[in-house]
Chains A and B, each alone.
Chain A
Amino acid sequence: MREIPDFDIYIPSSLSDALDYLSNEGKEAFVIAGCTDFIPMVKRGRIRPIKVLDISHLRELRYITLDSGFIKIGALTTISDLVNSPVFDNRYGGIKSLERYFGVITTRNMATVGGNLASGGERDLIQIFLALDAQVKIRSLQNERVTSPTEAKPNLGELITEITFKDIGADSCMEFSKFEKRAANGISVCTAAVTLKISDNLVEDVKIVVNRVKGREPGRLYRVEESIIGKRIEDAINDVDIMVKSEVDPAGDFRGSKKFRKEITKVLVKRTLIKCIRTITGGVDRV
C-alpha cells in the first residue's frame, strides 16, 4: 500500500458551484463522495490525483422521491438509504437485497449510487437499474443529458445527478440474485435481475438482466423476455433456463469458467423469476 499523495481539494457550496469548478479550474479533478473506491485506488497506486472535488456534503443530491408514478434517486443517496427507504416496499425485493449483497454495512453506509455507477465495472446496481429500465441524468455547467446505466460514465466536467425510473406498479415485482464466493465484499460471479408484471395469471411484461450477456458486458436477454411474454406464469418458467443458457455467452476467468457461468446464470434467472412470482402471488407456490 502506498502513501496517499498530496492533492488540492475543493469543497463546493452547491451543485452549481461544483459544476462551475469542474468546467473551469477543476477540469481534471477526481470527484469524491463515499470514497469507498477512491482511497483503495489511491493506496494501490492506480490513480494519482492532483485535484479533488469533494461533493459528499451536497444534501441537494441525496433524496429518494416518488412523484407522479416516477421514482427519482439523487446521486449522493447511499446504498443504506436505498435499502431503508419506505419508497421501496416488498415489490422491490431486488433493491432490498442490496443489504445482503452489497459489501458490508460500512460500505453501504458510505458508498453512493452515483459513485457506484460512475466507477464502472461489473456493478450489481447497474443490473438492478437496467431491469428497472432506469435512466441516468448527467449534468455539466452548460448541458444535461440522459443515458443508460451501462453508459453512465461522466466525461470531463460532468457529474451524475439523478437516476429515474417508472414505478413498477401493482402486480409487479423486481428481484435480484447473486452468486458470489464469500460472505462480505464479494465480487459477483453471476447475477440475475428480473422485473416481472403479471396480469390474469399471464406474464404481461418482463425484463431479465444478467451480469455477463456477452463477454463481460451486462445486459438484457431480449429474446428470452419476448418468448415468455403472454405465457401463463406456470409455463413461462418451464423452458426459461434452457433459453437463458443458449442466449448468454459469458467470458470465463479465475472466478468462474464460461461453462460454469452459463450453468449458474440459467439457474439464477429461473430462481429469480420464481421469487418474483411468489412475491406477486403472495407467496402461493404455483410454480
Chain B
Amino acid sequence: MKFLNLRLKINGEEKIIRVGSRERLLDLLRRLGYKSVKEGCSTGDCGSCNVLVDGVLVNSCLMLAIQARNREITTVEGFVTGRKLHPLQESFLEFAASQCGYCIPGILVTAEYLLSVNPNPSEEEIRRILVGNICRCGGYTKIVEAIRTASLLSRERR
C-alpha cells in the first residue's frame, strides 16, 4: 500500500491521519503545524528534529510516519500547559540560552528525555547527550547551565 490511515497521539491529542508511505514523521508533524520540529541534516546527525515517541528520544527525520502508528508523540508544543512554560523553557529564557534558536526545540526535547531517565545529570552527562544536537551558534555553555539549573529546580520542587 502507498497510503495508510494512521491513528496516533500527538502531545496528548488523539488523531487519525492519512499518510503516504514515503512521508517521514518530521514531514507529518510539520504538515500538521508542529513547526518546532526542524529539518537540519536529514541524516540523524544534528538533532534539530528530535521528538519523543512513547517517551523515547528519536530523530523524526529517520522515522517513517507510518512507523508512528498507535504511538504517542511529544514535541516542544506539548511542553506548555495552558500559558505556563515548562521548567526547561523557563530556564532557557532565564539564561538566554538561545541565539538563532533553530536547534533549541530539539535540544529542549533532548533535555526533557535526559531528565526523565536521569533527574540529576552531571555537567559531563549533559554535555555527552548534547553531542547529538548541533548548535552552529556554538552557545553550549548557557544551554548546559540552563539544563543543569532546571534539573536542580525540579529536584527542589519535589
Identify which of B21, B24, B42, B69 gathers the most chain A CB atoms within 10 Å of its CB: B21
Q: Check B131–A106 contact: CB distance below 8 A.
A: no
Q: Check A109–B57 contact: CB distance below 8 A.
A: yes
Q: Which B residues are in CB contact (< 8 Å) with A6?
A: 2, 20-22
The B37-68 residues at the A interface (CB cut-off 8 A) are: 42-45, 47, 50, 56-59, 61-64, 66-67
Q: Check A107–B21 contact: CB distance below 8 A.
A: no
Q: Check A107–B44 contact: CB distance below 8 A.
A: yes
Q: Which residue of A lies closest to B134 (CB)?
A: A184
B18–chain A nearest beta-carbon distance, Å: 14
Residues of B in contact with A, size category:
20 to 34
In the bound complex, CA of A35 to CA of B65 (Å): 12
Q: Which B residues are in CB contact (< 8 Å) with A39?
A: 24, 42-44, 61-62, 64
Q: Is B1 an interface residue (CB 8 A)?
A: yes
Q: Is A54 an interface residue (CB 8 A)?
A: yes
Q: Which A residues are in CB contact (< 8 Å) with B42?
A: 1, 39-40, 43
Q: Is A8 an interface residue (CB 8 A)?
A: yes
Q: Is A284 an interface residue (CB 8 A)?
A: no
Partner of B58, one of A8, A40, A110: A110
Q: Is B87 an interface residue (CB 8 A)?
A: no
Q: Is the interface of B mostly helix, strand, loop or mixed?
A: mixed
Q: Is A257 an interface residue (CB 8 A)?
A: no
In the bound complex, CA of A103 to CA of B47 (Å): 12
Q: Check A110–B59 contact: CB distance below 8 A.
A: yes
Q: Is B110 an interface residue (CB 8 A)?
A: yes
Given A7-B21, A184-B132: A106 touches B67 (CB 8 Å cut-off): no
Partner of A105, one of B1, B62, B64, B132: B132
Q: Check A104–B64 contact: CB distance below 8 A.
A: no
Q: Check B21–A9 contact: CB distance below 8 A.
A: yes
Q: Check B2–A8 contact: CB distance below 8 A.
A: yes
In the bound complex, CA of A183 to CA of B134 (Å): 12
Identify which of A34, A104, A185 gathers the most chain B CB atoms within 10 Å of its CB: A104
Question: A31-56 vs B: 1/0 string, CB under 8 Å?
Answer: 01011100110010000000010101
